[in-house]
């Protein structure tokens, strides 16, 4: 079994033939490891919110993000654009005969780890559309099994709660540290949104915390601090929990609060961090369309995907130009 549903067909909502949107360039692929999948990046939906601590709704995130992204134009003023993008469909709960359906969040994480492993084994850059933050654990484990790993987490919260009765959207990085995570940075963390115990836990493990205030003062510096915290790990994974945005920009999340970063700051962070040569995957989580207002959160999540794809290709182009110059 592939663990993935059939990929949707994308169409552009624009009737202007000069408007190239994601709806024009995203093509369905049978499987990330399929012979014909020669895309620069591949989208995979994870429509589950079993692990959400607060208000649910993130299970509807993948569909809404795709629908919004289909109308987003592909042009970027400062780079080569988004490249070729495939859509491999959504992770499925379908299991082999004789296996039990996932009943707990930890069961679901184990199930999705297999799906994520197949995605990471492909040649295309993985983009996971969540879904809740507990799925980060499953998305990162295949990378951690293959070498050293660091995660840059754009988030209002540290998400290092202890796993008690079951895993939750607040436990993924505690779980990853338990599995051997080598480096961690939380960018956009807010005062009065975590406990001293969890802040100490991150600090004691060499993790970095860059507050939303620090992002507001110096976005580029915030990105540099996050990447410096990655040290010399083999791979870097980028996670965007859209509750890192201020509640006015992202009301459609489980726990919207004031004091977050702006969409412009978020997009700049995504673009800068995506230029990192070791970047091995990206996810956007906790986008809950039923809780949204005027599609603000969905619009931000979709455009964050675009900024990551464009930033990644810009980084590749910059490195190629540097290598060419060095050989002259």
Residue 242 within any structural domain of the chain: yes
Q: What is the mean pLDDT of residues 142-168?
A: 97
Element (H, E) at 43: strand 41-46
Residue 11 within any structural domain of the chain: no
Residue 7 within any structural domain of the chain: no
Give the model's pLDDT for residue 98: 46
pLDDT over 90 at 96, yes or no: no
pLDDT over 90 at 37, yes or no: no
Residue 201 within any structural domain of the chain: yes
Q: What is the mean pLDDT of residues 73-79?
A: 93
Residue 144 within any structural domain of the chain: yes
pTM greater than 0.75 (yes/no): yes
pLDDT tens sequence across 174-219: 999 999 999 999 999 999 999 999 999 999 999 999 999 999 999 9
Number of domains in the chain: 1
Maximum average pLDDT range among 34-38, 100-104, 114-118, 305-309: 305-309
pLDDT over 90 at 327, yes or no: no
Residue 4 within any structural domain of the chain: no
Nearest to 61 by CA among 18, 24, 90: 90
- Percent of the chain residues topping a pLDDT of 70: 95
CB neighbour list of residue 11: distance below 8 Å, 6 or more residues apart: 23, 70
Confidence of residue 1 (pLDDT cuts 50, 70, 90): very low
Residue 3 within any structural domain of the chain: no
Domain ranges, residue 172: 22-327
pLDDT over 80 at 6, yes or no: yes
CATH value at residue 156: 3.40.800.10
Cβ density class 170-183: b for 16+ within 10 Å, e for less: bbbbbbbbeeebbb
Cα gap 263→250, rounded to integer Å:
9
Residue 254 within any structural domain of the chain: yes
Diameter of the chain measured on Cα atoms: 61
């Amino acid at each position: 079994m592939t663990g993935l549903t059939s990929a949707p067909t994308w169409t552009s909502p624009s009737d202007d033939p000069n408007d190239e949107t994601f709806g024009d360039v995203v093509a369905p692929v049978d499987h990330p490891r399929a012979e014909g999948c020669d895309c620069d990046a591949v989208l995979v939906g994870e429509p589950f919110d079993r692990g959400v601590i607060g208000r649910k709704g993130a299970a509807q995130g993948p569909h809404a993000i795709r629908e919004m992204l289909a109308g987003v134009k592909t042009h970027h003023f400062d780079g080569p654009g988004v490249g070729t993008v495939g859509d491999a469909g959504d992770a499925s709960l379908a299991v082999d005969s004789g296996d039990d359906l996932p009943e707990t969040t930890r069961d679901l994480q184990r199930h999705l780890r297999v799906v994520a492993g197949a995605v990471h084994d492909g040649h295309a850059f993985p983009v996971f559309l969540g879904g809740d933050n507990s799925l980060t654990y499953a998305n990162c484990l295949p990378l951690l099994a293959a070498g050293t790993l660091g995660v840059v987490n754009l988030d209002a919260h540290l998400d290092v709660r202890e796993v008690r009765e079951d895993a939750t959207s607040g436990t993924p990085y505690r779980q990853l540290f338990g599995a051997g995570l080598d480096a961690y940075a939380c960018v956009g963390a807010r005062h009065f949104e975590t406990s001293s115990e969890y802040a100490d836990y991150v600090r004691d493990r060499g993790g970095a915390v860059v507050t939303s205030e620090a992002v507001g003062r110096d976005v580029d510096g915030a990105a540099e601090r996050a990447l410096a915290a990655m040290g010399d790990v083999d791979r870097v994974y980028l996670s965007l929990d859209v509750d890192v945005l201020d509640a006015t920009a992202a009301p459609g999340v489980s726990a919207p609060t004031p004091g977050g970063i702006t969409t412009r700051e978020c997009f700049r962070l995504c673009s800068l961090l995506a230029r990192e040569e070791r970047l091995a995957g990206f996810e956007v989580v906790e986008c809950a369309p039923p809780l949204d207002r005027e599609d603000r959160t969905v619009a931000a999540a979709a455009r964050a995907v675009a900024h990551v794809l464009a930033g990644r290709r810009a980084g590749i182009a910059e490195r190629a130009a540097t290598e060419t110059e060095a050989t002259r």
